[in-house]
Amino acid sequence: MDPTPTGTPRTGTITRPCVGVSGSGRPRLARHVRLTFCRTRQRQILQLPETVVVLNGSGAAILELCDGRHTVAEIVAELGARYRTVPDDEVRQFLTRLVARRWVELSDG
Amino acid sequence: MDSPFGLLAELTYRCPLACPYCSNPLNLAGYQDELTTDEWRRVLVEAGELGVLQCHLSGGEPLLRRDLVELVADAHDLGLYTNLITSALGLSRPRAEQLRAAGLDHVQISIQSDDPTVSDRIAGTPSFQRKIEAMGVVKELGWPLTMNVVLHRLNIDRVADVLELAEEVGADRVELANTQYYGWAWRNRDALLPSRAQLEAAEVVVRAARERLRDRMDVIYVLPDYYSRYPKPCMGGWASRQLTVTPNGDVLPCPAAQSLPLPRASVREDSLERIWAESPVMTAFRGTDWMPEPCRSCPRRELDFGGCRCQAFLLTGDAARTDPVCHLSPDHDLVARAVEAANADSRADDLPLVPRPHRVRRPARHPGGADRPAPGGERAG
């Protein structure tokens, strides 16, 4: 095999400019991304090529709503209702980061 | 002790290619008694129970296993994210469709260069055209495609063209991995190690490409650690996040660790859970207690974990020393001398390369039976 086992040092993370997500967009997980529950860790997990992201409660709640039906505005409202301490901006910023990494796709309207 | 996130399943070390930078062990013949389908199934189940979330199917060439589709289906049913790391030889359209239906999540295809002649020469067999065709099939079937390219002295000057090819084939990710010196790459190190000027030129190209392609393609660049000031955080720490199972069932923290003088642990003799928790091969360098100076008192000890144990062993003969790549290592001159030789005006232009053997023959006796190579060759698909 190629000597590129996972866990080798990567400089793959680059900062992308933040293009805000519009409230009417409907986010959905990209095809190569899976949201799953890990019984061993008792946490929601995002599975990607060569990466695993262990999600916190609000992160998991946002991604569960990324089903291509809910709009960004609806997700923001839902999170606001569920977690009083999560400001709207944070939900949008979280989604913006995931869209920039192409883990979440956004369809308009 | 945490649960591992990833399993690197090295299904076979048989391979149609003969790349001189291969990370497989030098004693390939020692791994011919491959795990059967049922043994791999048990490994996958135990890995899932242990908390593994990702299954990287690799080799050698994993497509040479006739049971690959079954194993992918099993891993998928267990909720593992499945990733095929392949030369693409044997990835015919029907085989690809079967793998897609079995739930394979992601495909990584290697090329040896963007130039067909150079690629075939490095691979030791005509393969470039088939790889490009297979990339087309991967995209057509809707998989995310990663193009893997191992960079070294003989191809790093072409990195701009490699990136252009990645764009042409529609890769979603391209992994440009500077050679890491284990296995056959260690044997061929002096021929493969690029010069500082080559690396600097490549890094300018990679930085510009990242900027230009950032909305379309992830460009991953694995650093050339011989030229780094500090060592890599190898595997995120010894036996911390990943484990490897070799074709014959040995369990290791990483694919290179077979070179270390540690007692074997095998899935044929023990459960994955017990091996992960208790076997000396896992506990030997877990955490920071094993560390010598200068690591022990170093503020970076939790950042790079002392670097790579296998590299320390290959360079110094002692796996418990600081990775000599680190400029603070008392053995750093071992790396500095190799780098100096790679940059010397007097260096010969074409040092000899030892290709890894093309095909490791499978012995006649095989417990799986059904997985026997077809008469007249071992190319799958």
Helix (H) or strand (E) segment spanning residue B154? none
ω before B294 within 30° of 0 (cis)?
yes
What pLDDT score was predicted for residue B359?
66
What pLDDT score was predicted for residue B362?
56
Per-position pLDDT tens, chain B of length 381: 889 999 999 999 999 999 999 999 999 999 999 999 999 999 999 999 999 999 999 999 999 999 999 999 999 999 999 999 999 999 999 999 999 999 999 999 999 999 999 999 999 999 999 999 999 999 999 999 999 999 999 999 999 999 999 999 999 999 999 999 999 999 999 999 999 999 999 999 999 999 999 888 999 999 899 999 999 999 999 999 999 999 999 999 999 999 899 999 999 999 999 999 999 999 999 999 999 999 999 999 999 999 999 999 999 999 999 999 999 999 999 999 999 999 999 998 888 899 998 765 555 444 443 333 333 333 322
> What is d(CA B257, CA B139) in angstroms, rounded to the nearest whole number?
34
> Could you give the angle at the alpha carbon of B288 between the alpha carbons of B3 and B272, nearest 5°?
30
Among B7, B11, B54, pick the best mutation site for testing chain A contact (most A Cβ within 10 A): B54
- Positions in chain A short of pLDDT 50: 1-18
Question: Is there a contact between B105 and A34 if contact means CB atoms under 8 Å apart?
Answer: yes
Measured between CA atoms, how close is A54 to chain B, in angstroms?
10
DSSP assignment of B250-292, as one string?
A: BEESSGGGGGS-----BTTTS-HHHHHHH-HHHHTTSSSTTPP
* Sequence-separated (6 or more) residues with CB below 8 Å from residue B80: B7, B44, B47, B48, B52, B53, B54, B55
* Sequence-separated (6 or more) residues with CB below 8 Å from residue B151: B159, B176, B177, B178, B179, B194, B202, B224
Q: Which residue of B has its CA nearest to A37?
A: B79
Strand residues in B315-375 grouped as ranges (E): none
Q: Which residue of B has its CA nearest to A43?
A: B51
> Could you give the angle at the alpha carbon of B28 between the alpha carbons of B24 and B33, nearest 5°?
115
ipTM for the predicted complex comes to 0.79
What pLDDT score was predicted for residue A3?
38
- Residue B54, token pair as written in the block: 């990702």
Measured between CA atoms, how close is B370 to chain A, in angstroms?
24
Q: What is the pTM of this model?
A: 0.89
Q: Return the SS3 of B15.
A: coil
> What is d(CA B10, CA B246) in angstroms, rounded to the nearest whole number?
5
Tell me which residues of chain A have a C-beta less than 8 Å from any C-beta of chain B: 1-12, 14, 16, 31-32, 34, 36, 38, 40-41, 45, 47-50, 52, 102
Residue pairs spanning A and B at CB distance below 8 A:
121
φ and ψ at residue B256, rounded to 5 degrees: -85, -15
CB atoms within 10 A of CB B55: 26
What pLDDT score was predicted for residue B328?
97
Measured between CA atoms, how close is A81 to chain B, in angstroms?
31
Query: Which residues in chain B are closer than 8 Å to A3, comparing Cβ atoms?
Result: 21-23, 150, 177, 179-180, 182-183, 185, 255
Query: Which residues in chain A are closer than 8 Å to B103, comparing Cβ atoms?
Result: none
> What is d(CA A8, CA A6) in angstroms, rounded to the nearest whole number?
6
- Residue B174, token pair as written in the block: 């391209």
Nearest to B221 among A11, A48, A50 (CB): A11
Rounded to 10 degrees, the C-alpha dihedral B21/B25/B26/B31 comes to -140
Measured between CA atoms, how close is A25 to chain B, in angstroms?
18
Question: Is there a contact between A50 and B54 if contact means CB atoms under 8 Å apart?
Answer: yes
